[in-house]
Amino acid sequence: FFSVSMACSGTEHRHLLHQNACKDGQAPHVVCVDAVYYAPQEPAEPQRRWRSLGFGSLMLSLAILFFLQYSALPWSTQDLTPGQQQRYVVLPGYRVAPLVHSFNVPTPRPVPQMSANDVFGRPQPAEALRSGFGRRHVRAFAGAMDLETIQKMRIKEIKAELKSRGVGCEDCFEKTDLVNRLFEVSQQKQQQRPDGIVLKMPMVTGAGNMMGPNVNTEDTNYFYVMEASFPKSASPAATIELLVDTAATVSLVSPEASQMFQGKPTGYTASGTAAGGEAATAGYQVTLGPITLADQPFNYEFRPVVADIPPATPRTKGILGLDFLSAFDVYFDFTGAEMVLYQKGSAATSPLVQGMTGIPYRVLPLGLLVVNVQLYLDGQKAEGGEVLGILDTGAASSVMNWRAAQTLGLTPENPKMVNNGMILAGQDGNMVSVREVNLEVSIGAIGGALPITMACGDLAGFAAMGIADKPVMLIGADLLKQRQGMVLSQMARKIWLPDV
């Protein structure tokens, strides 16, 4: 886990990153554990330059300045109790930060509880996000895969995909046969879906050396990313990749990306001292202007937090979080590698969710979206009850803690818990071994448990979130993509998953 916590006048944003790494026989699987806590300061008084104006122009200028100065700040009559904080959490699925930090967060000034539509500034209506589209971009069929995507898949992944679709492949002896079989099957899936804004969301593999020259990222760790550009920035033609993350309540960019686009600081800064007092770090929010995703422009001022985060790929320079996604109902087409945006609140009555099961989710105090998950071992339901499942499209792999393993009667000494060399590593050098077990997972009330190789370990991030004493797991991309698609509606507080 890589954790970033940001407290802005009573609002704390925590960003946790998790990633598996390494191939068997080459180097250990490593998940680096890191925690950073930011305590932003009040925006500095802006410098103002004046020149001679008529009296009327002067009064108008003063009125405009007063409006801009205060409307951008999230004050309202709904104040928090002094010392109370509302937290936002990010769990992207990639690894390692260079330091472990902790900060003393000062008693905040009273501020309102803010919407995820705009964590720092004024909420921007969904209509503003939807404007700027010159034409519709619609794909009529869900579950279709392009040939190039299938060709990049490994043989075992193609077989698993065919199995999940109920299609046999015993008569396929070459990879070409498997590729053609899956392509034909995917094109035959004629599930009609309503018109929406279709954005390409390619699935990419993790960067190979991000954790050091002697540690390789497992090449089965996949991430879903979105190409982004900022046409009114200093580099309008440049593009970067943003990790699409349902567990990120705010969007992030790296310092490199902020410098490339010459992000303009909003005035919110963050500073703190590393644990042990050996180092200091700082973070701040910038505006990059209107964002364009997958060649589609949005009339949306992108205001990410600048954080020194390692990329999932060489082109991945940040995270696309719920501050953007919450303005829509979102269909994640994992099979077709697309994300489709619909009008907020429309999913519940839309043909989009026909053939899907609606699953209510809850929002933890940290801002995490969680659903009930039932675990099965050798086909037997866990006697210890359900566990909390954190929805995390940004996590390449699913992970449960030992409290969740106990619901299945599993202990570290159980022979079913296999040590495949995966470890959790912190900057302080301490390493925690993580074991793996083959089990099945059922999300919510949906039928049909899905097989998965689950990692098990007490991640530091679970303790940071205050849920280490509960049975909990991350529902990562490896599990979600087996369902082929997911609809997320924050207005309905539901997700929908296809029936198996």
Nearest of 329, 399, 453 to residue 31 by alpha carbon = 399
pLDDT of residue 182: 86
pLDDT of residue 487: 94
pLDDT of residue 273: 28
Q: How many residues does the chain have?
A: 500
pLDDT of residue 113: 32
pLDDT of residue 315: 82
The angle, 0 to 180 degrees and rounded to 10, between the axes of the packed helices 175-188 and 155-164 is 30
pLDDT of residue 310: 65
* pTM for the whole structure: 0.64
How far apart are alpha carbons 226 and 146 in whole angstroms? 17
Q: Cβ distance 444 to 497 under 8 Å?
A: yes
pLDDT of residue 242: 94
pLDDT of residue 145: 67
Domains annotated for the chain, with CATH where assigned, are: 147-192 (1.10.720), 203-343 (2.40.70.10), 356-498 (2.40.70.10)
pLDDT of residue 294: 93
pLDDT of residue 171: 87
Q: Which residues lie closer than 8 Å to 393 by C-beta, 6 or more apart?
A: 93, 224, 244, 245, 246, 247, 332, 476, 477, 480
Nearest of 235, 394, 234 to residue 313 by alpha carbon = 394
Q: How do 338-343 and 328-333 pair as beta strands?
A: antiparallel
pLDDT of residue 28: 36
Number of H helices, E strands in the chain: 10, 32
pLDDT of residue 221: 63
Q: Cβ distance 177 to 220 under 8 Å?
A: no
How far apart are alpha carbons 239 and 241 in whole angstroms? 7
pLDDT of residue 15: 34
Residue that is written with structure tokens 């879906």 in the block: 193
pLDDT of residue 191: 46
Q: How do 296-301 and 280-287 pair as beta strands?
A: unpaired
User: Which of the residues in the chain have pLDDT under 70?
Assistant: 1-145, 164-166, 187-194, 206-221, 269-283, 310-311, 422-432, 445, 447, 500
How far apart are alpha carbons 146 and 167 in whole angstroms? 18
How far apart are alpha carbons 140 and 156 in whole angstroms? 29
pLDDT of residue 122: 34
